[in-house]
């Protein structure tokens, strides 16, 4: 492919220095809206590079864990200020390499800013607790302690926000890090790491190695010097990560897939519900783990909703995310586009009715990108594959239902449990839904996307393994509870034995 000028060559960040990969090989970072644009060349790291990064993190942990948490937090506050100052530049970089429209990439960077400020505040708020002892002249308390070296593997759809979700709580708790971002979107993670470096993160505390999963990700999982793993990606890969961590009992956090639903009741504000379903289904080209790829609509308003939703989806302008006229960008790469087209074919074969879309866009301004039309299937059976399996693209399946209980059964009838939404004016149904939906996140009169950084993020069933990102819940994963007893009685006290007398 033709390139106007020599591409920028990037390096790994190991032990406080930007370092070339030992093997000398590189991976192209290209614009999914225009494959002719080569954004840069990033290292194709191998196990040798990973070992260097882990050794650096392991050595740095000895000093970093002793830095007072408020001092660690001051570095993060400076990083947040740098991110805020460069928000527009970083957003434009992200649109070029990931494809989503500029308002969304601004939101991605803002989420990293929010998380960084949040965790900077937690540097003075890593509260433990004090409890009365059952024995006299004895003091009892529980405090947080860092875990050690954290290995992190992050996806391409939120290439700055998700690394920030992991990096910031890990750092403020006193851990050191080896981060492997997705090979499709390395520049955004590079920008995040550069901001942290400039803010004063000491050498070795934060290391980033670029490359693909088998060559650069797997060695992080297998190394006994890595104390915990945080992974965001597909359920299939998450299972591999879990199995790799199990033999050594390595602490493991998995944030995986979703097949999220919006339930539209017959008393819903349809204008609001249609707008929410459009944003939930086609925001980020449907490439979100929280995307609303299913919409269940009460039969009393079904036909009106379908007509309005399909018409609005058809009007969405698809193209280069840097063009302010466009509302939806490309799929991230050819593989993802092929997956979308495969599921469109499956939907047709299953007998779902195609209301709009269904085709790749490949002429004119779309000729050099991985574009697909916003696609809407209607009259779907909830057991169809397009209603059960994660597509990760701009495809929405609409399902009719006749009662609240039927809607809940449809919503819960998948293997995932990340996010769900209900549109209703009935407060009783709103509260029943938040109680009965088997998901980690529930929205009322809002779409399935829109998580805020100060609240826990994560799901149930095949979406996660019980841990949560963001909010105070993140501190629980990146720290260990240590219980401390101080006996100042100057005599032997045998806990329950003496206490029973």
Residues 222-255: tens digit of each pLDDT: 999 999 999 999 999 999 999 999 999 999 999 9
Residue ranges of domains in the chain:
12-256+464-483, 261-444
Half-sphere exposure of 362 (CA within 13 A, CB side): 7
Contact status, residue 167 vs residue 208, Cβ threshold 8 Å: no
Which position has the higher pLDDT, 496 or 168?
168
Q: Following DSSP, what letter does each residue of 194-247 receive, concatenated?
A: HHHHHHTPPTTTEEE--S-IIIIIHHHHH-TT--EEEEES-HHHHHHHHHHHGG
Cα–Cα distance measured from residue 482 to residue 480, given in angstroms and rounded to the nearest whole number: 6
138-146 vs 129-132, strand pairing mode: antiparallel
Cα–Cα distance measured from residue 297 to residue 304, given in angstroms and rounded to the nearest whole number: 10
Domain 12-256+464-483: state its class: alpha beta
| Predicted pLDDT at 498 | 79
Q: Mean pLDDT over residues 436-462, rounded?
A: 95
252, 289, 331, 387: which is the annotated catalytic residue? 289
Residues 7-66: tens digit of each pLDDT: 899 999 999 999 999 998 999 999 999 999 999 999 999 999 999 999 999 999 999 999
| Predicted pLDDT at 495 | 83
| Predicted pLDDT at 3 | 46
Q: Mean pLDDT over residues 361-384, rounded?
A: 97
Percentage of the chain lying above the pLDDT 70 cut? 99
Which residues, including other chains, have CB under 8 Å from residue 108's CB and lie 6 or more apart? Answer: 91, 94, 100, 158, 159, 160, 161, 188
Q: Mean pLDDT over residues 354-378, rounded?
A: 97
Q: Quick one: CA torsion of 94, 100, 106, 110, rounded to 10 degrees?
A: -90
Question: 19 forms bridges with which residues in the sheet?
Answer: 12
Cα–Cα distance measured from residue 479 to residue 357, given in angstroms and rounded to the nearest whole number: 47
The reply to whether 255 belongs to the active site is: yes
Residues 173-185: tens digit of each pLDDT: 999 999 999 999 9
The reply to whether 469 belongs to the active site is: no
Among 160, 167, 12, 181, CA closest to 87: 160
Residue 6 binned pLDDT confidence (cut-offs 50, 70, 90): confident
Cα–Cα distance measured from residue 407 to residue 300, given in angstroms and rounded to the nearest whole number: 13
Tell me the two tokens of residue 303. 């036909």
97, 183, 255, 469: which is the annotated catalytic residue? 255
| Predicted pLDDT at 2 | 45
Residues 294-315: tens digit of each pLDDT: 999 999 999 999 999 999 999 9
Residue 328 binned pLDDT confidence (cut-offs 50, 70, 90): very high
> Strands, DSSP E only, in 305-369?
353-356, 360-361
> Strands, DSSP E only, in 283-369?
294-298, 353-356, 360-361
| Predicted pLDDT at 500 | 64
Buried b or exposed e, range 193-211, using 16+ CB within 10 angstroms: bbbbbebebeebbbbbbbb
| Predicted pLDDT at 287 | 97
**Of 3.40.640.10, 3.40.50.450, 3.40.309.10, 3.30.70.100, which CATH number belongs to 261-444?**
3.40.309.10
Tell whether the model's pLDDT for residue 1 goes beyond 50: no
Q: How far is CA 459 from the centre of its chain?
A: 12
| Predicted pLDDT at 29 | 96
Residues 84-119: tens digit of each pLDDT: 999 999 999 999 999 999 999 999 999 999 999 999
Buried b or exposed e, range 144-177, using 16+ CB within 10 angstroms: bebbbbbbbbbbbbbbbbbbbbbbbbbbbbbbbb
Tell whether the model's pLDDT for residue 290 goes beyond 70: yes
Contact status, residue 140 vs residue 494, Cβ threshold 8 Å: no
Residue bearing tokens 């690394």: 163
| Predicted pLDDT at 501 | 59
CA torsion sign for 206, 209, 214, 215 is: negative
């Amino acid at each position: 492919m033709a390139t106007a000028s020599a591409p920028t060559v990037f390096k790994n960040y190991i032990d406080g220095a930007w370092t070339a990969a030992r093997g000398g090989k590189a991976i192209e970072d290209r614009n999914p809206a225009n494959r002719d644009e080569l954004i840069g060349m990033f290292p194709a790291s191998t196990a040798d590079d990973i070992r260097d990064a882990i050794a650096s993190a392991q050595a740095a942990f000895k000093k970093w864990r002793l830095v007072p948490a408020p001092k660690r937090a001051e570095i993060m506050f400076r990083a947040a200020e740098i991110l805020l100052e460069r928000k527009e530049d970083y957003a434009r970089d992200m649109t070029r390499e990931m494809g989503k429209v500029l308002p969304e990439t601004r939101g991605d960077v803002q989420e990293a800013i929010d998380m960084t400020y949040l965790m900077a505040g937690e540097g003075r708020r890593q509260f433990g607790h004090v409890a009365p002892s059952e024995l006299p002249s004895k003091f009892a308390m529980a405090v947080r302690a860092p875990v050690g070296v954290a290995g992190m593997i992050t996806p391409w759809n939120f290439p700055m926000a998700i690394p920030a979700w992991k990096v910031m709580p890990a750092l403020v708790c006193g851990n050191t890090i080896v981060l492997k971002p997705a090979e499709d979107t390395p520049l955004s993670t590079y920008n995040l790491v550069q901001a942290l470096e400039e803010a004063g993160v000491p050498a070795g505390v934060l290391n980033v190695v670029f490359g693909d999963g088998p060559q650069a990700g797997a060695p992080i999982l297998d190394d006994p010097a890595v104390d915990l793993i945080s992974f965001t990606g597909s359920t299939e890969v998450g299972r591999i990560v879990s199995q790799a961590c199990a033999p050594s009992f390595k602490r493991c956090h998995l944030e995986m897939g979703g097949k999220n639903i919006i339930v539209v009741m017959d008393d819903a504000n349809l204008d609001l519900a249609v707008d929410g379903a459009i944003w939930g289904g086609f925001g980020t080209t449907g490439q979100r783990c929280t995307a609303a790829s299913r919409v269940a609509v009460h039969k009393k308003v079904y036909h009106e909703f379908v007509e309005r939703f399909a018409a609005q989806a058809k009007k969405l302008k698809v193209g280069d995310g840097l063009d302010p006229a466009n509302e939806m960008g490309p799929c991230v790469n050819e593989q993802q586009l092929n997956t979308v087209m495969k599921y469109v074919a499956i939907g047709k074969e299953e007998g779902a009715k195609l209301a709009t879309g269904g085709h790749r866009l490949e002429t004119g301004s779309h000729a050099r990108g991985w574009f697909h039309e916003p696609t809407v299937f209607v009259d779907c059976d909830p057991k169809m594959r397009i209603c059960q399996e994660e597509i990760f693209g701009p495809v929405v399946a609409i399902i009719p239902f006749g009662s609240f209980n039927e809607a809940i059964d449809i919503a819960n009838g998948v293997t995932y449990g990340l996010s769900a939404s209900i549109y209703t004016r009935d407060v009783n149904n709103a509260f029943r839904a938040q109680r009965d939906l088997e998901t980690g996140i529930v929205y009322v009169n809002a779409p399935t996307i829109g998580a805020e950084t100060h609240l826990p993020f994560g799901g149930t069933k095949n979406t996660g393994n019980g841990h949560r990102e963001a909010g105070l819940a993140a501190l629980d994963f990146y720290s260990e509870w240590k219980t401390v007893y101080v006996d100042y009685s100057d005599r032997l006290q045998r806990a329950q034995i003496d206490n029973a007398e």
